[in-house]
Every structure is written in structure tokens, then in C-alpha cells.
Amino acid sequence: MDVEPREAIHVEELLKEDVEEAKTLGMYVIWKSNNRELLEDLKAKPDYVIRTLSELLE
């Protein structure tokens, strides 16, 4: 894709490595919560947290 990182959205279910990497690249991050990982343990936080993929359409 020919887009800048700030024009992209990264949707992730696994937190730590992928969220921090995407944020470092300048992407917006949406985390699909699985209730097993804690946000407090992250250096970089997702921009939004959802529970189901259908929430992306809202």
C-alpha cells in the first residue's frame, strides 16, 4: 500500500510487541481485547480498545 503510517490503522489482538511497534511507526492502533493481557504493562498504549471486530464498523 502507498500510505503514510499516520494514514494507516493497525488492528491487533496480541498486545505487547505489535502495539508498541505500530505506535513507534506512527500508526493508529486498535486493540481487540481478549481480557488476558493488561494495558498497564505497555510502554505504548493503543488508541482504541474493542471487544469484537464488528465494533470497527461503528
Cell numbers given for 6: 499516520
Average pLDDT of each block of 10 consecutive residues along the chain (58 residues)? 80 73 87 73 83 86
Helix (H) / strand (E) containing 50: strand 48-50
Looking at residue 37, its pLDDT comes to: 65
> What are the domain boundaries of the chain?
5-57
Q: Which pLDDT score is estimated for 38? A: 67
Radius of gyration, CA atoms only, the chain: 11
Distances (CA, A) of 30 to 9, 50, 53: 7, 7, 10
Grid coordinates belonging to 57: 464498523
Residue 5 DSSP one-character state: G
- Cross-strand partners of 30: 11, 48
